[in-house]
């Protein structure tokens, strides 16, 4: 829901600590390809994508990966338009959006004016849906789809190099734990202390983080129930709440 949460005046929502100001979750991965050219992907384009892209100084985008089709993860897709026009001018190409079939179906329905074969809207985003497979290589970097449960849904997490990103997780299957060996950086969602049908509690997330044993775990998708400073105080040293604008080096 983002923090401050609409209509709420709790201590976290009214906090002046900038780390208690949370936009909807997303991550950007940047690297230099073999030719020394900067490459960038993002995972999810939520309703805050525009603001996040501006803050991160995003000027070029090579691909988008989607975890699932909930509004807080897809409702910024239209703001890919300016970036997609730039890519089209340079390469004559559309930006690929990697999504599972059920996620692609929602994107097609919500953004009919973009994806419909009958779409006539002239300035629609120059994007194309690609089926998310187990393994996708973008300019030399491999992105592995790691399935997790989000309530009754199966959604996508991602492993790239020594890092992995999971949001909206309520359960990690055994077969997915097996894909998370030797991680340096793990990003994992942790909503709050109180149980939720489709999100991990802080305690569950910490348990999984310990089991995965990444050098550093960052928690994301945090509700207003968890204040930054006070929550970090009760966490193990290598498990921290992430915050907006956080940048972490990874080996790809
Ligand atoms: Zn969700
Ligand atoms: Zn979500």
Same domain, 48 and 120: yes
Same domain, 238 and 152: yes
Q: Of the bound ligands, which one is closest to the alpha carbon of residue 170?
A: 1
Q: Of the bound ligands, which one is closest to the alpha carbon of residue 73?
A: 2
- Domain range for 186: 1-17+140-242
Same domain, 3 and 28: no
Same domain, 186 and 127: no
**How many domains are contained in the chain?**
2
Does some domain include residue 248?
Answer: no
Same domain, 28 and 118: yes
Task: Give the end of a domain, one of 110, 133, 156.
Answer: 133
Same domain, 100 and 157: no
Same domain, 37 and 61: yes
Does some domain include residue 218?
Answer: yes
Residues within 5 Å of ion ligand 1, judged at the Cβ atom: 70, 168
Does some domain include residue 207?
Answer: yes
- Average of pLDDT values for 114-134? 95
Of 158, 166, 160, residue with least CA distance to 141: 160
Q: How far is the CA of 70 from the centre of ligand 1 (A)?
A: 5
Q: How far is the CA of 141 from the centre of ligand 2 (A)?
A: 26
Other C-beta atoms closer than 10 Å to the C-beta of 104 total 19
Residue 51 sits at the vertex; the CA angle it makes with 111 and 54, to the nearest 5 degrees, is 110
Predicted confidence band of residue 91 (pLDDT cuts 50, 70, 90): confident
Query: Which three-class secondary structure state does DSSP give residue 220?
Result: strand
Residue 216 has a pLDDT of: 98
Q: What percent of the chain has pLDDT over 90?
A: 96
- Average of pLDDT values for 87-98? 92
Same domain, 161 and 88: no
Q: How far is the CA of 25 from the centre of ligand 1 (A)?
A: 10
Does some domain include residue 250?
Answer: no
Same domain, 34 and 109: yes
Does some domain include residue 178?
Answer: yes
Q: How far is the CA of 69 from the centre of ligand 2 (A)?
A: 9
The DSSP secondary-structure symbol of 5 reads P
Residue 137 has a pLDDT of: 98
Q: How far is the CA of 2 from the centre of ligand 2 (A)?
A: 10
Instruction: Report pLDDT digits (tens) over 18-46.
Output: 999 999 999 999 999 999 999 999 999 99
Q: Of the bound ligands, which one is closest to the alpha carbon of residue 191?
A: 2
Same domain, 120 and 147: no
DSSP states of 79-140 as a string?
GGHHHHHHHHHHHS-PEEEEE-HHHHHHHHHHTHHHH-TT---TT---EEEEE--SEEEETT
Whole-Å CA distances, 61 to 114, 144, 210: 18, 19, 33
Name the one residue in this structure whose structure tokens are 């629609």. 124
Residue 59 has a pLDDT of: 95
Q: Of the bound ligands, which one is closest to the alpha carbon of residue 189?
A: 2
- Average of pLDDT values for 229-251? 97
Task: Give the end of a domain, one of 79, 110, 133.
Answer: 133
CATH number at residue 127: 3.60.15.10
Query: Under a CB-based contact definition with an 8 Å cutoff, are residues 65 and 80 in contact?
Result: no
Predicted confidence band of residue 48 (pLDDT cuts 50, 70, 90): very high
Task: Give the end of a domain, one of 116, 133, 150.
Answer: 133
Does some domain include residue 247?
Answer: no
Name the one residue in this structure whose structure tokens are 């692609």. 104
Residue 156 has a pLDDT of: 98
Same domain, 170 and 108: no
Predicted confidence band of residue 90 (pLDDT cuts 50, 70, 90): confident
Report yes or no on whether pTM surpasses 0.95.
yes
Does some domain include residue 99?
Answer: yes
Same domain, 152 and 215: yes
Does some domain include residue 87?
Answer: yes
Of 6, 13, 47, 9, residue with least CA distance to 224: 13
Q: How far is the CA of 70 from the centre of ligand 2 (A)?
A: 6
pLDDT > 90? residue 88:
no
Average pLDDT, the chain: 97
């Amino acid at each position: 829901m983002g923090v401050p949460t609409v209509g709420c005046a709790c201590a976290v929502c009214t906090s002046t600590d900038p780390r208690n100001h949370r936009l909807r979750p997303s991550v950007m991965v940047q690297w230099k390809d073999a030719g020394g050219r900067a490459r960038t992907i993002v995972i999810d384009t939520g309703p805050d994508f525009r603001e996040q892209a501006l803050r991160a100084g995003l000027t070029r985008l090579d691909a988008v990966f989607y975890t699932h089709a909930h509004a807080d993860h897809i409702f910024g897709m239209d703001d890919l338009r300016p970036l997609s026009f730039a890519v089209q001018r340079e390469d004559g190409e559309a930006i690929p959006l990697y999504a599972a079939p059920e996620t692609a179906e929602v994107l097609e329905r919500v953004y009919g004016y973009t994806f419909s074969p009958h779409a006539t809207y002239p300035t629609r985003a120059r994007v194309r849906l690609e089926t998310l497979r187990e393994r996708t290589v973008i300019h030399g970097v491999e992105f592995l789809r790691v399935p997790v449960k989000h309530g009754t849904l199966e959604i996508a997490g991602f492993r790239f190099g020594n890092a992995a990103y999971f949001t909206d997780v309520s359960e990690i299957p055994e077969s997915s734990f097996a894909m998370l060996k030797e991680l340096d950086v793990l990003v994992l969602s942790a909503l709050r202390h109180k149980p939720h049908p489709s999100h991990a509690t802080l305690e569950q997330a910490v348990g999984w983080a310990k089991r995965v044993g990444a050098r550093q775990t960052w928690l994301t998708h945090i509700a207003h129930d968890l204040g930054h400073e006070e929550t970090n105080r009760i966490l193990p040293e290598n498990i921290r709440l992430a915050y907006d604008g956080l940048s972490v080096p990874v080996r790809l």
